Amino acid sequence: MSTARASDRLFALLQRCLPTRLLSLCMYRLTRVRWKPFKNLFIRVFMRGFGIRLDEAIETEPDAFVDFNAFFTRALQPSARPLAPAPALLSPVDGTLSQFGPLQAGRLMQAKGHDYDAASLLADAADAARFTGGDFATIYLAPYNYHRIHMPLSGRLSGWRYIPGRLFSVNASTARAMPRLFARNERLVAFFDSDQGAFAMVLVGALFVGGIETVWTGAVTPPHHRGPPGDLQRPTTPLALQRGDEMGRFNMGSTVILLTTPGLVQWSHTLQGAQTLRMGESLGQAR
């Protein structure tokens, strides 16, 4: 049974009526305004509202960022996120672990009372079949989190697919109330091969997420497209990324879903839902 409250259902209903693409495009433009009085005030109000400090960042002066997006996607000092020793499977982001566990019959848990199938999430049944019997972890990035996305394992990029979709919020309230939320929203799926097995990183867009980027394509969105899923793209030259390397970023916050093939990971016995994670922490052992 779903745990959605009346307020959750009302919020989900409201989002269905909102021009979410237009709102997200407006946010994209606002976050790139370079007029100093505006962007400095925007940054300082945001920092105050979410209790953000810059002591871990490379740039520690709020007014030094060229625009709000540069502040939001700020780089951290190398020592700020130490990596758990190999063979740990690393958390790819700072965030909250909303769900994790096995892909039972190829389905992922979204929230109590809601699950969805990997084929819908990846927009391809054959790709999803590779992960049947494997595992998944869903990590939500709140506005106050660090918003660069890193590699959980060393891997070689085998392909990626952009999937147009809606731009609903991905917070816990919407996840409780809206079925198949992550399979509805715009997303980018990146597939990697590693020495331990294959894994996929799903970067889910959301309301006010002004853009998704990867290190090999640059900006993927905007524009926010409509229509069927894109074809699987393959790298023209080999691309290998080491565990802990940056692989992408969100311009505003969202969710990352990690999928692994059967037997790749043994989850840590201390891991639990709603746990706060930092990039580089161990999720379990890669085998």
Residues designated catalytic: 94, 150, 254
Each as own residue / partner, the long-range contacts of residues 102-108 (CB below 8 Å, 24 or more positions apart, any chain) are 102/133, 102/134, 102/135, 102/136, 103/131, 103/132, 103/133, 103/134, 103/135, 103/136, 103/259, 105/132, 106/131, 106/132, 108/136, 108/138, 108/182, 108/257
Count of CB atoms situated within 10 Å of the CB of 236 = 7
CB-neighbour burial class of residue 170 (10 A; exposed 0-12, middle 13-18, buried 19+): buried
* Residue 10, SS3 per DSSP: helix
* Residue 163, SS3 per DSSP: strand
Residue 155: beta bridge partners? 241
**Residue found under tokens 């899923």:** 229
Residue 146 carries which side chain, given as an amino acid letter?
Y
